[in-house]
Amino acid sequence: MEILMLILSYVFISIIVGLFYVAMLLSVFYLMKKIFRMNESKWTSLFKIHNGLGLYYALIIPWIITIVVMFPIIVMWFELIGMEYNILASVSIILLLFVTTAWKFYKGRANLSNISR
């Protein structure tokens, strides 16, 4: 029963984390636009730094912030549903989310470098 609850929690949490990541990404881009008065040439130069590494960092930094913010929420979720090993379940969900997203970023890096040229 706990395995089924862990799988369902992973699906639920991955949806919530994805939505939070999009909100965080848009917030970071908005703040960068306002703080640094970004225009098209500044955005282009940021994204073209080291063959697209600037764009890559602009995508990864909000992901790290998202994971750090969501970890206590995930721990509270597993405490709320009464999971016996809530810290272990939280760490396993975070690691699974991190590995799947790192794999997607790794596979998409070639596409990002093509876009930034």
pLDDT > 90: what percent of the chain? 61
At residue 116 the predicted structure's pLDDT band, cuts being 50, 70 and 90, is: low
Q: What is the mean pLDDT of the segment spanning 62-74?
A: 94
Virtual torsion, Cα 105, 106, 108, 112, nearest 10 deg: 90
CA 42 to chain centre: 24
Q: Given pLDDT bands bounded at 50, 70 and 90, which one contains residue 115?
A: low
Q: How far apart are CA 50 and CA 116, in angstroms?
A: 10
Residue with token string 């913010």: 69
Q: Which residue has the tokens 């992901």?
A: 63
Contacts of 12 by beta carbon, 8 Å cutoff, 6+ apart: none
pLDDT in tens, 2-35: 889 889 999 999 999 999 999 999 999 999 999 9
